[in-house]
Structure 1
């Protein structure tokens, strides 16, 4: 059965869900004022959406837990991402699944956990590495680490561009206006917009991150979220690696993500600060890596710096995937994993629509 669906929010989750639902024949409308804005990070931007600010790191198979909803969502997304990339490359040929992720063990206890995890997930491409294996890549990895052949990265900017084009092909209605209120209308939902117009849908999907609670509270639902600031730097190296021949697509050390982009250049980012205020000097926060950074990283020149807020659910595990009442679906609060979990979330929403 197909229906009219209003998706509020146009990050990776909102756009990905809209695309998946449109492919299944649903009549989809997307609402987000950022749909009028270009997708880029030019200059020093501090008001980016979670998806645009993110680095698109896919930490699926290295997830510590071996069961539960979080593990199932990550594993399913990692199964779906190759299919999504193949389909979306039609609209953005440069979109690619960058495979290969190295996770550094912070101490001996972490190394033992990684060894156990690798033994459990050999078929998923996990393998432990010794400090000798890291000698030419990351000499400070004195406890070794974990290599995942299928985890890695999706460029979040290219992903958004590809999804926007794919939605146009599917004749999805793109409304570059904010939603101010939801109203029950018999067995339907009326979406009220800032321009004074409104539209009725059979189903509304909320993928609105930090603004979710403002829409839900008047309806009697409370799903508070707290902002967590993510920061990223684009760096030009003065010394050190140039061609990245021995590097993976992503190297993770103490929660900091290092991503080679071109000869002598890389991205460095992390979601590390509660609240919505950036550190006065992001270099202090990130480039020392708690005094473990190699000299070539500390002396690199900053090309650009940006930040963005992630929505972390309060007293509930991320993400929030719920049908709050008939026709009102919540798919939000993905915290650091919006890009990673976009395919599995879209599939979950589609399945929720099929429930009687």
Structure 2
């Protein structure tokens, strides 16, 4: 069955969901003010939304839990990512998965947990690297002296190229893209064709069969207008771009992502590096937190201390209050919420889009 569906929010989650629904033949309207702005070639020194400010880290296999919803979503997304990349790849925005990811142990206890996890998941491409081997592999890495875990299948995808590829696919699938802010949702009235109504900031009235809210912090107001409370807190993610004045050796020995105490280091070009983390509650960047991130919680090697700051940007993430991230639920018949992904919006985009499409398929089969 085919339906008219509006997806509100054009980050990676919303855009990916709109693409998947259009592939299944639905008539899709994607609404977000950010659609008026082209995806930049590189992040700029300004406030960005969560997707364009993201580093696109995919940590699905190196996850300590082995059960529960969070584990299942990560596993499903990592299984879907290769197909997404293959289908979305295009010469104008070449898309690929960069691997591997290496997670440094911050203590002896953490190293022991990593060893146990790697031993239990050899088939998932996990391997523990003892500290003496880590020194031999690359002595310029920041490290606490307790070893690390290598995840061969984890890594990152470039979020800007991903968004460009998704927008191109929206055009190919005739998805209507509306650069506007949806300020109110109105429930279906009585009659033979019961449709949701979307009221935009310009006063425009759109009617659709189903609505999917993927607008992070913007989801709160839309739900409140209908009497639903799904509180979420703003958390700031920051990224620094550094020029390395005296790199110890070429970047060929580095993984796609090196994570140290929750801080991600990503080689970028010959002598540049991105350092990013989601650290701060609220909407304002704290200079002290930025400096702590650059020092890697006092584990930064000398060449990193001497690096020159070229740029800095940050973006807001939505963290559900009192509930695990993300929020995936049917709020009312015909109204779905797929939001509040916190730090894992890019990682969980494929599994989220699949959840939405499967839920809509079931609803259409059971609707009168």
Coarse TM-score class (shorter-chain normalised) = over 0.9
Verify the 8 A CA contact 1:61 1:148 in the aligned structure 2: yes
Query: 2:327·2:341 contact (CA, 8 Å) conserved in 1?
Result: yes
Match of 1:218 in 2: 225
Partner of 1:60: 60
| Corresponding position of 2:319 | 312
What are the Cα deviations for residues 30-84 of structure 1, in whole angstroms up to 9, with x where unaligned?
Answer: 0000001122255411x20000111000010011111011001101110111110
State which of 147, 154, 158 in structure 2 corresponds to 1:144.
147
Greater than 6 Å deviation, 4+ residue runs: none
Name the structure 1 match of 2:123: 123
2:180 matched residue in structure 1: 177
Say whether 1:344 aligns with 2:347.
Answer: no
Aligned residue pairs total 355
Distance in 2 (CA, whole Å) between partners of 1:127 and 1:29 is 44
1:283 to partner: Cα distance: 4.5
Q: What residue is the counterpart of 1:33 in the other structure?
A: 33
Cα RMSD of the aligned pairs, angstroms, is 1.3
Contact kept in structure 2, 1:7 and 1:14, CA below 8 Å: yes
1:281-306 deviation digits (Å, cap 9, x = unpaired) = 56412111111111111111111100
Quote the Cα distance in structure 1 between the aligned partners of 2:286 and 2:315. 12
* Unmatched tracts of structure 2, length 5 or more: none
1:140–1:42 distance in 2 versus 1, CA, 3 Å: closer
SS of residue paired to 2:354: helix
| CA displacement at 1:211 relative to structure 2 | 1.2
In the superposition, the TM-score normalised over structure 1's length comes to 0.97
2:95 aligned partner: 95
Return the offset for 1:171. Answer: 0.2
Matched, 1:192 2:199: yes
| CA distance in structure 2 between the aligned counterparts of 1:340 and 1:347, rounded to whole angstroms | 13
**Is residue 243–residue 262 contact of structure 1 (8 Å, CA) maintained in 2?**
no
Give ranges in structure 1 of 5+ residues lacking alignment. none
> In the superposition, relative to structure 1, how do residues 200 and 14 fare at CA in structure 2: closer, same or farther (>3 Å)?
same
